[in-house]
């Protein structure tokens, strides 16, 4: 049986992060004393009237960078959570097992690709999924030669399930990957696989 050298342990569940919504009322415009008609001075529109929260109008560069980083991290988590939900729908697996399956299949797939091809694939997949893999400098410099049976066997061993069930899981995960990447990238992945793995990859399209 093909052995997967990249064993992984408990994977934390994905957690999404929500953002609050701030509502801003119109500024007070009191009339002049004595019952006169209120007059307004021409000039630049203040930030709050342009829809910018007062706190943001006085942010330092560091605070802006931190706010942008929080927004980016929230987007990264939301993207990964959406990927896992989609995979659960395709595979009928519970979230924790679907996450483990995604890591196992991606690990096996990338061991069969050239390093450059693996990097191109990763660039279009959720970042949080890719972070479960070993860093590039710890990966083999050349792809391992194996076919469909060994591929499925490595996933079956990782997930502790029969080969027949593992192949269905592999198909679901590969389909979820292809729903994340461009058609051109999917074709490039296929061109770097042997015929029997190409057939498995194409079955999911």
Pick the CATH number of 61-203 from 2.60.120.200, 1.10.490.110, 3.30.420.40, 1.10.800.10: 1.10.490.110
Q: Which residue has the higher pLDDT, 114 or 47?
A: 114
Mean pLDDT (the chain) is: 79
Q: Which residue has the higher pLDDT, 20 or 171?
A: 171
What's the pLDDT band for 97 if we cut at 50, 70, 90? Answer: very high
Helix axis angle for 61-91 and 95-111, nearest 10°, is 90
* CA-atom Rg of the chain in angstroms: 25
Q: What is the mean pLDDT of residues 6-25?
A: 40
From the list 74, 103, 89, 91, the residue with the least C-alpha distance to 12 is: 103
Q: What is the mean pLDDT of residues 88-94?
A: 95
Q: What is the pLDDT of residue 32?
A: 37
In angstroms, rounded to a whole number, what is the distance separating the alpha carbons of residues 137 and 4? Answer: 18
Q: What is the pLDDT of residues 35-88, one digit of tens each?
A: 444 444 455 555 544 555 555 557 788 877 787 778 878 888 999 999 999 999
Q: What is the pLDDT of residue 76?
A: 87
- List Cα–Cα distances, 180 to 34, 122, 176, 194, in angstroms: 66, 10, 7, 22
Q: Which residue has the higher pLDDT, 137 or 88?
A: 88
Domain boundaries, the chain: 61-203
Q: What is the pLDDT of residue 30?
A: 40
For residue 116, give both structure tokens. 């450059």
**Residue 11 clears pLDDT 50, i.e. is over it:** no
Q: What is the pLDDT of residue 9?
A: 43
């Amino acid at each position: 049986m093909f052995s997967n050298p990249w064993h992984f342990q408990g994977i934390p569940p994905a957690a999404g992060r929500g953002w609050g919504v701030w509502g801003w009322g119109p500024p007070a415009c009191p009339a002049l004393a004595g019952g006169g008609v209120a007059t307004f001075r021409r000039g630049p529109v203040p930030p709050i009237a342009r829809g910018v929260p007062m706190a943001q109008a006085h942010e330092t560069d560091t605070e802006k960078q931190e706010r942008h980083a929080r927004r980016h991290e929230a987007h990264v988590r939301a993207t990964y959570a959406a990927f896992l939900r989609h995979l659960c729908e395709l595979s009928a697996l519970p979230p924790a097992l679907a996450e483990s399956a995604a890591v196992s299949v991606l690990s096996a797939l990338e061991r069969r690709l050239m390093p450059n091809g693996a990097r191109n694939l990763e660039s279009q997949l959720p970042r949080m999924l890719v972070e479960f893999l070993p860093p590039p400098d710890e990966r083999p410099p050349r792809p391992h030669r194996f076919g469909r049976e060994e591929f499925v066997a490595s996933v079956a061993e990782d997930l502790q399930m029969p080969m027949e069930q593992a192949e269905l899981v592999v198909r679901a995960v590969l389909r979820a990957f292809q729903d994340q990447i461009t058609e051109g990238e999917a074709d490039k992945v296929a061109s770097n696989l042997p015929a029997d793995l190409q057939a498995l990859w194409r079955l999911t399209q």
